[in-house]
A and B are shown apart, each in its own frame.
Chain A
Amino acid sequence: MMDFEKLVAELADNAAPVKAAPHPYLLSLKWMGAAAVYLVVSLAVSGLRPDLAHALAQPLFIAEIVGLLLIFAATSLSAALLAFPDLHQKHRLAFAPAWMFALFVLVMLFAWRADSPPAPLPVHSFECTLSIILFSLLPAAWTFYTMRRYASTNYYWAGSIALLSAFSIGALWIRLHEVNDSILHVVEWHYLPMIAAGALGVWLGKVLLKW
């Protein structure tokens, strides 16, 4: 290592004016706006589920969609905060996804109980998980690309939350696209893989967000 004063002089010499990073609220709004456009365009291309009007008449379906929207909003905000070394000094907000996930689990428990007699299982299974993953690739890539410009000191969490955010928008898309009332299928192939996505995000965070 070099002499302390020499290092200070060198760093000061390189101190060109710097444009401050956008506020994390603005950053997360950007992500949410882009994801909303992506979702609308994708649904316009792939088509809405034909029974959407009927599905929207069911309170638990609405609760599930709202739950997914809240998870997406909370994870976007949390990922934006986690991209900053000090979480922009809003530590409590960074934990908001935990509450949203808890709320969502509760909604799914109610939906599970209400699914009696159980709706018939669709003929497909893992195809849903695969579709969600493919749909999530673009938002995930963009989120990680943006986060790399900042300086996360919690890169494991940041990676996990970023991937959960992308996965939640994928899960939202498939619920609005696919005709399916089986809670068992939805839990097994739409939402449980989210746990794996979160774990994969931990690894991706370490690889992509370390600085």
Chain B
Amino acid sequence: MEEITGMEELMRRSLGGDKRAYAELLRETARFLRPFLSKRLSFDSEVEDLLQEILISIHKARHTYDGKRPYKPWVYAIAKFRLQDYLRMHYADHLRHAEELSGLEENLQDDVTESGISYESISAEVEKLPEKQATILQLMHQEGYTAKEVAAKMGMNESAVKVAAHRAYKVLRQKLER
């Protein structure tokens, strides 16, 4: 069997339709991108998700590589682009949650002093919520997970997690304001 050497060569073959070379190239690419992403992200699950997104982007953009220039700078340009996108979305997500939470806290603040709502009473109300909503709030606000991480943990869609959390806030607010 002919030995394939060099990522540029692998990419040239991939562009010609060599599936085996392409699979090998993607694995090699993942091998050097994993440490790059691990240094910049906190969780292994994030690294794996983003790595897969980057591989899909490489697949979409492979026609922009001609095999005549170094492969790694081309890959890193795509990886950095996707990483920036991911971080932008991630921080925007955090900000939204912080706003939601502070909104809830603001609404509850007055009532807490007047009606004696305590941490225990909030926890008790959380426990009365449907199981899924209660778990989501617990993971997000007690254990500090993001909506995306909760979604991954519970096998749900990220937006479904956000909707469930939003509904839970609403129910909690109504109950605690009484």
Physical interaction between A and B: yes
Are A11 and B80 in contact, CB atoms less than 8 angstroms apart?
Answer: no
B49 an interface residue at 8 Å Cβ cutoff? Answer: yes
Residue of B nearest to A149 (CB): B63
Chain B residues within an 8 Å CB radius of A14: 59
Whether, in the assembled complex, A8 has its beta carbon less than 8 Å from a beta carbon of chain B, the answer is: yes
Q: With CB as the reference atom, state the residue of chain A lying closest to B82.
A: A153
Q: Does B22 contact A11, Cβ atoms closer than 8 Å?
A: yes
- What residues on A are CB-neighbors of B15 within 8 Å? 17-18, 20
Kindly identify, within residues 16 to 53 of chain A, every residue whose CB is under 8 Å from any CB belonging to chain B: 16-21, 23
| B-binding residues in A (CB < 8 A) | 1-2, 4, 7-9, 11-21, 23, 83-89, 150-151, 153, 211
Across chains A and B, the number of contacting residue pairs, with CB separation under 8 Å, is 89
Interface residues of B (CB under 8 A from A): 14-20, 22-23, 26-27, 30, 48-49, 51-52, 55-57, 59-67, 69-70, 73-74, 76-78, 80-81
- What's the nearest-Cβ distance from chain B to residue A55, in Å? 43
Question: B64, A84: Cβ atoms under 8 Å?
Answer: yes
Known contacts being A12-B19, A17-B16, A86-B73, is A153 close to B81, with CB within 8 Å?
yes
Q: Which of A7, A15, A19, A23 contacts B14 (CB 8 A)?
A: A15
CA distance A78 to B15 in the complex (A): 26
Among A12, A17, A85, contact of B64 (Cβ-Cβ < 8 Å)? A85
Interface of B is mostly: helix
Inter-chain CA distance A132–B59, complex, in Å, is 39
Q: Is the CB of B77 within 8 A of A86?
A: yes
By DSSP majority rule, is chain A's interface helix, strand, loop, or mixed?
loop
Contact check, A1 vs B17: say whether CB atoms are below 8 A apart.
Answer: no
Complex CA–CA separation, A211 to B59 (angstroms): 12
Query: With A89-B70, A153-B77 given, is the CB distance from A19 to B26 under 8 Å?
Result: no
- Shortest A180–chain B CB gap in Å is 43
Q: Which of B17, B27, B59 has the most CB of A within 10 A?
A: B59
B59 touches A11 (CB 8 A): yes
| Chain B residues with CB under 8 A of A85 | 61, 64, 74, 77-78, 81
> Which residues of the other chain, A, contact B77 by a CB distance below 8 angstroms?
85-87, 153
Instruction: Please list 24 pairs of residues, one from A and one from B, whose beta carbons are closer than 8 Å in the complex, sorted by A's number.
Output: A2-B52, A4-B30, A8-B26, A11-B22, A11-B55, A12-B19, A12-B20, A12-B22, A13-B19, A15-B18, A15-B22, A16-B17, A18-B17, A20-B15, A20-B63, A20-B66, A20-B67, A21-B63, A86-B73, A86-B77, A151-B57, A151-B60, A151-B64, A211-B57
**B74 touching A86 by the CB < 8 A rule?**
yes
The chain B residue with its CB closest to the CB of A8 is B26
Least CB separation from B26: chain A residue: A8
CA distance A9 to B22 in the complex (A): 9
Pick from A4, A18, A151: contact of B48, CB below 8 A. A4
Q: Determine which of A15, A150, A151 lies in contact with B19 in the assembled complex, contact meaning CB atoms within 8 Å.
A: A15
- Report yes or no: B17 in contact with A21, Cβ–Cβ below 8 A: no
Question: Are B52 and A19 in contact, with the CB atoms below 8 A?
Answer: no
CA distance A20 to B17 in the complex (A): 12
